[in-house]
Amino acid sequence: MSNGKQDRRFMEAAIGAAEIAEENGDVPIGAVIVYENRIIARAYNQREQLADPTAHAEIVALTQAAAFLESWRLHGCTIYVTLEPCPMCAGALVLARLDRLVFGCDDPKSGACGSLYNIVEDERLNHRLQVTAGVLAEQCSEQLQSFFKQKRSQSN
């Protein structure tokens, strides 16, 4: 399977995880972590559900993947996430030593993988990730826009 097809397949899994976040009233962001062409972690935003500001999809997925591999070093892993990671999540990806980040849509307000900052490719840090941006970006963006449009209409 080509990298492009594989990236789309795993991003679709992340989009599916984001749907669970939305069903639970949270911002629909999903993430999966892949190791040896297999999903070893599947997570979604749970900030509202857990009342935890750190319960971003990426952080939850990192915890699951580390438990699966029995190591905090996630060498050989790729994370697929529907929205460009924030500074907290980008820093955690670097610290976890993932090989690659694939994300859907840019986050111009808090993205830390190219939009506002570029933590995951910063040469001053001890680890960098290969980054592929824009995989199923339109679908990821529409999912978020639809969620916020619905939230705004509920508050009126």
Q: Please give the positions annotated as active site.
A: 58
Contact at 8 Å (CB) between 29 and 19?
no
- 8-state DSSP, 31: E
Instruction: Tell me how far apart the alpha carbons of residues 1 and 9 are, in angstroms, rounded to a whole number.
Output: 10
Instruction: Tell me how far apart the alpha carbons of residues 5 and 121 are, in angstroms, rounded to a whole number.
Output: 24
Token couple for 50: 């857990």
Handedness of CA 65, 68, 72, 75 (dihedral sign): negative
